[in-house]
A and B are shown apart, each in its own frame.
Chain A
Amino acid sequence: MDPILIGSIGLAGMFLMIALHVPIGIAMGLTGFFGVGFLIGFEPAASLLGTEPSAAIANEGLAVLALFLLMGSFAGAAGLSADLYRLAYAFIGHRPGGLAMATIGGCAGFGAVCGSSVATAATFSRMALPEMLSRGYQPTLASGCIAAGGTLGMIIPPSVVMILYAILTEEDIITLFAASFIPGLLAVVFYFITISIYVRMNPEAGPPGERIPWKERLVILKECWGVVFLATVVSGGIYTGIFTVTEAAAVGASLAILFTIFRGNMTKDIFLQSLGETAANTGMIYIIIMGAAVFSYFVTLSHMPEEVVEGIKSLGLPPLLIILLFELMFLVLGSIFDTVAAMVITLPFVYPVIVDIGYDPVWWGVINVIAMEIGMITPPIGINVFVLHGIAKDIELSQVFRGIIPFFFADVARLLLLTLFPAIVLWLPQLWGLM
């Protein structure tokens, strides 16, 4: 049988399995197994099911994911997220919409020590949402800024999704981290501008908080040294070349644990809960990675990526239009599909096209993550919205989605800016001699 036909049947079968509640990683793994079986025989397919997953779980480079997740869990347990929020509030909380801006600032800072979008959204839903509501913020703005701010965990390094992209495409993790630095800062700036415009048009949405005197601000700044230290050691260690990425993740995890202990927050329950949370998230990601490894092998054998590249080439579309269509595809996929899975499934097809039309894969990694980040707040799935709604059930889903609209447009504007000017993304890695 024609490999392309087998590939197409396999792909259709995988989507059918996913629709029928088969976990995504499992559907990918089984599709890969049966696909390879039909293409080159079931004995090599069975071997593949042993070698690829075993290589994935024993891979020290991949362990960086588990270590960053561990760091994020203990950073939350140590109270570092609360520190960040307090710090941001002390400096900008007195402005109209200041608490919402402090939430965005806190999310950005927590993203730098956490790496997970969902964890960031969940943490700030518990902490910042009651605070904003008690100070008279409208639920739409309060919930919208948390759901949007949560996505910063995905773009601000170290980002778990960015690491996954780097591993799957064999790009350098440090280069990707450096490339996502300015887009991450731009996200914060765009969100600040959005909140400013929002409260100017609707002042009751985010009334100003009380002004904290400078003396008190400095005391808070001093008390928050822990989170600044952790973020500096991890990011600084990576960018200066003192640590490898795995070492930086291990150092970050160890320091987060030590902070939890020395701040007196470490109880048996906290320890077990943090380990349980890390294990659950690690397991979910690894099942996807194992399935993706087998699936990618099948996709490569079927020659489908080459066909996709040729097919797109034959359309004669300008490269920029292809990129914009991909972005639109990821926005739609992100809104109806799990974002990580959407990236992993499409990567074997999209990546060769990006390289073929002459765009930089590092730049695409950032763009891809931003497009998925927008998907995380886009209906009907928008996972961050559901995380927030799960924690604050009294806020209607429709209110959260209404609150997200201005942030959605800010995200789209940022995505277009970075698409039209790739130099913004690539400037820092080039400056640091990483490219």
Chain B
Amino acid sequence: MEMILGLRDRLDRFTRLVATIGFTGLVVMAMLTMFDASMRYLGLPRIPGFSDLGEVIYAVVIASCFPAGLLQGHNITIRFLGKGLGRRGGAWLEAFGASFTMLFFTMLAWQFLRLTLDYQANDRVTGTIEMSIVPWWWLTTAIIAMCLPVQFLVLVQRLATAVTGRGEVPTGAGM
């Protein structure tokens, strides 16, 4: 259990860093959007191909919040049954929920990989300035793939809690 917790701490720091970098990108996009909109309103030259930038950056930004979200359990989950079944029963249900989340993200990562390979094979570019979208989608796919070891750790931890009865069982619901 201590090894899991140690690994979790390291992953926690790393995934938070990824989310921070990603959402700093959102701050930059917000500032650039404000600048671009102001330029348009004032009739001054706008940022060339700015909408193309949004097309690729938002995918990376949004993907960046998933690993940290999974590790910290930021998901809308209904926990009525677990409360009724007690701590141990709740822990088993948490493990069950974590295994389905693992399944979903495994399929998601697999499909993102296929999609990115398809983009690469077809040299896909953006509409206006014809910037390649391939590196951005590789980055997005890499972040989605990062969710797999993260969720695997969450699953192991949930299973360990269910089996040993030690450790934290999430109780919150909703957003």
Residues of A within 8 A of B (CB): 17-27, 29-30, 33, 46-47, 49-51, 53-54, 57-60, 62-63, 66-67, 70, 118, 242-244, 246-247, 249-251, 253-255, 257, 272, 275-276, 278-288, 290, 336-341, 381, 383, 386
Q: Is the CB of A50 within 8 A of B96?
A: no
CA distance A253 to B34 in the complex (A): 9
Q: Is the CB of B16 within 8 A of A276?
A: yes
Q: Does B138 count as interface, using CB distance less than 8 angstroms?
A: no
Identify 24 residue pairs between A and B in the complex whose beta-carbon atoms are under 8 Å apart, listed by A's number: A20-B81, A20-B96, A21-B78, A21-B90, A21-B97, A23-B77, A24-B78, A26-B100, A50-B108, A53-B112, A57-B62, A57-B140, A63-B58, A66-B58, A242-B37, A247-B36, A250-B29, A257-B30, A257-B31, A279-B65, A283-B65, A284-B175, A338-B76, A339-B174
Q: Is the CB of A281 within 8 A of B175?
A: yes
Instruction: Identify the closest chain B residue to A65 (Cβ).
Output: B62
Min CB distance B6 to A, Å, is 22
On chain B, the residues within 8 Å of A50 by CB distance are 108, 111-112, 114-115
Number of interface residues of B (CB under 8 A): 60
Min CB distance A241 to B, Å, is 10
CB < 8 Å A-B pair total: 200
Instruction: Kindly identify which residue among A21, A62, A66, A250 contacts B96, using a CB–CB cutoff of 8 Å.
Output: A21
**A50-B114, A60-B54, A284-B76 known; A253+B81 contact, CB < 8 A:** no
Q: Across chains A and B, which 7 residue pairs bring their CB atoms closest together, nearest first?
A: A50-B111, A283-B69, A250-B33, A21-B97, A23-B75, A279-B65, A283-B65
Q: Does B64 count as interface, using CB distance less than 8 angstroms?
A: yes
Q: Is the CB of A283 within 8 A of B26?
A: no
**A57-B140, A251-B33 known; A22+B19 contact, CB < 8 A:** no
Q: Does B72 count as interface, using CB distance less than 8 angstroms?
A: yes
CA distance A281 to B66 in the complex (A): 10
On chain A, the residues within 8 Å of B112 by CB distance are 50, 53-54
On chain B, the residues within 8 Å of A286 by CB distance are 62, 65-66
Q: Is the CB of A51 within 8 A of B26?
A: no
On chain A, the residues within 8 Å of B33 by CB distance are 246-247, 250-251, 254
Instruction: Kindly identify which residue among B68, B94, B140 contacts A280, using a CB–CB cutoff of 8 Å.
Output: B68
CA distance A315 to B11 in the complex (A): 56
CA distance A19 to B22 in the complex (A): 33
Min CB distance B166 to A, Å, is 19
Min CB distance B92 to A, Å, is 9
CA distance A400 to B103 in the complex (A): 40
On chain A, the residues within 8 Å of B30 by CB distance are 67, 70, 249-251, 253-254, 257
Q: Is the CB of A21 within 8 A of B79?
A: yes
Instruction: Identify the closest chain B residue to A286 (Cβ).
Output: B62
**A54-B59, A288-B76 known; A278+B23 contact, CB < 8 A:** yes
**A30-B100, A247-B33 known; A338+B78 contact, CB < 8 A:** yes
Q: Is the CB of A23 within 8 A of B62?
A: no
Min CB distance A14 to B, Å, is 11
Instruction: Kindly identify which residue among B19, B27, B107, B173 contacts A33, using a CB–CB cutoff of 8 Å.
Output: B107
Instruction: Identify the closest chain A residue to B27 (Cβ).
Output: A257
CA distance A25 to B34 in the complex (A): 32
On chain A, the residues within 8 Å of B37 by CB distance are 242-244, 247, 250-251
Bits for B100-112, please: 1 = Cβ < 8 Å to A, else 0: 1101100110111
Q: Does B159 count as interface, using CB distance less than 8 angstroms?
A: no
Q: Is the CB of B20 within 8 A of A275?
A: yes
Min CB distance B87 to A, Å, is 13
Instruction: Identify the closest chain A residue to B137 (Cβ).
Output: A54
Instruction: Kindly identify which residue among B56, B61, B115, B173 contacts A51, using a CB–CB cutoff of 8 Å.
Output: B115
Instruction: Identify the closest chain A residue to B23 (Cβ).
Output: A275
Q: Is the CB of A58 within 8 A of B104?
A: no
On chain A, the residues within 8 Å of B164 by CB distance are none
On chain A, the residues within 8 Å of B81 by CB distance are 19-21
Q: Is the CB of A337 within 8 A of B78?
A: yes
